[in-house]
Amino acid sequence: MFAIERRNSILTALKEEKHVVVSELAKQFEVSEETIRRDLDKLEKEGYVVKTYGGAVISEGAAIELPYVVRKKANVEAKQKIAELAAELIMDGDTLILDASSTALFIAQKIKAKKDITLLTNSLEVLMELSDVTGWKILSTGGSLKERSCALIGSQAEECLERFHVDKAFISCKGVEAEHGFSDSSDAHAAVKRKMIAAASQVFFAVDSSKFGKLSFASISGFSGIDAVITERCPSDEWNRIFVANDIECIYPRGGENG
C-alpha cells in the first residue's frame, strides 16, 4: 500500500468514524505511529483533518464531501436520525428515488454500503456523494438548476420522472398539516415531488418534528397515497391520531438503542 493510499484510507475512515486514533491506525496499516502522525500532519496542512491529542477529527468545512456547497446546519441531528431510519428501510437490490433535500443527502451517505441499488435523484449533492460507489445504477433526472441550490427542477425533471418507476421514494417537505397534507415553499419543487410520488410504489416522507403543523406555500400532496412519515421522535398523540386516521405509518426511533 502506498502512502497516498494510506492517507486516503484515513480520510475515508474519518468520514465515517468522525475521529481516528493514531495507535489504532498504526496497527491497522502495520506502520509505525510516527508514520501515521506524519500522515495526519500532511492531511492537516491540506485542511482535511484537525489533529488532536492521540488522533485526529474531521475538519469541519473540510472540502471532502461537499467542496462547493455551504453545509446546512439546520436540524442536523434530527435529519441524521431520520436518515438512519430511512437507511434501515432500504434493502440490497432496491430501486429508489431521493429528492433534493439535505435529508436525502444524509440518506445517501448512509446507504453507500448497500449492494445493487438503482437510484434516481434530482439532487446534485446526492449524485456527487454517490459518484464513488460501484455496482449501482445511478440516474439523474436532468432539468434546470435552481439558483443557489443543488436541485434540478422544471419540466425536464418532471418528464423524466414520468418515465421511471421505483420501489421506494424518500421525499422531504417544508411543512405537514392536518388539513392540507404536505407542502413546500417552491411550486417547482412541489411539482417534481408530485411526480416522484407517482413514480414510486412506496412513498416515505421525511419530516422532522419542527415541520409538524406547518403549512407552506405550495401543496405537494394530501395524505392519500403516502405510505409512511419518518421523523426523529415520537410525535404527539394528536399527530398519531392524524396518521392513523389517514392510514399512514409513522416511523421514529424506538427506545433501547443509544441515539
Partner DNA sequence: AGTTTCTTCTCTCAATAGCAAACATGAAAT
Partner DNA sequence: ATTTCATGTTTGCTATTGAGAGAAGAAACT
Measure the CA–CA gap between 226 and 251, rounded to whole angstroms: 13
Cell of 32: 509505525
- Work out what residue 66 binds among DNA, a second copy, none; the CB cut-off runs from 5 to 8 Å by kind: a second copy
Answer yes or no whether residue 51 interacts with DNA by CB under 7 A: yes
| Shortest distance in whole angstroms from residue 78 CB to DNA | 18
**Quick one: which of 8, 9, 28, 31 contacts DNA (CB under 7 A)?**
31
199 in Cβ contact with 222 (< 8 Å): no
Tell me the window of 28-36, 60-68, 99-107, 177-185 that interacts with DNA (CB under 7 A): 28-36
**Binding partner of 218, given DNA, a second copy, none, CB within 5-8 angstroms per partner class:** none
| Longest CA span, the chain | 63
Q: Does 153 help bind DNA (rule: CB under 7 A)?
A: no
The binder of 142, among DNA, a second copy, none, by C-beta within 5 to 8 A per type, is a second copy
Residue closer to DNA, measured from CB, 22 or 166: 22
Phi, psi of 35 (to 5 degrees): -60, -45
- Binding residues for a second copy, rule: CB under 8 A, are 1-5, 7-8, 11, 19, 43, 46, 48, 50, 52-55, 57, 61, 63-69, 124, 127-134, 137-145, 147-150, 152, 156-157, 160
Q: What is the 3-state secondary structure (H, E, C) of 93-116?
A: CCEEEECCCHHHHHHHHHCCCCCC
- DSSP-derived secondary structure for 172-233: E-SEEETTTEEEES-HHHHHHHHHHHHHEEEEEEE--GGGBT---SEEEE-STT--EEE-SS
Per partner kind, with CB cut-offs from 5 to 8 A, the member of a second copy, DNA, none near residue 34 is DNA
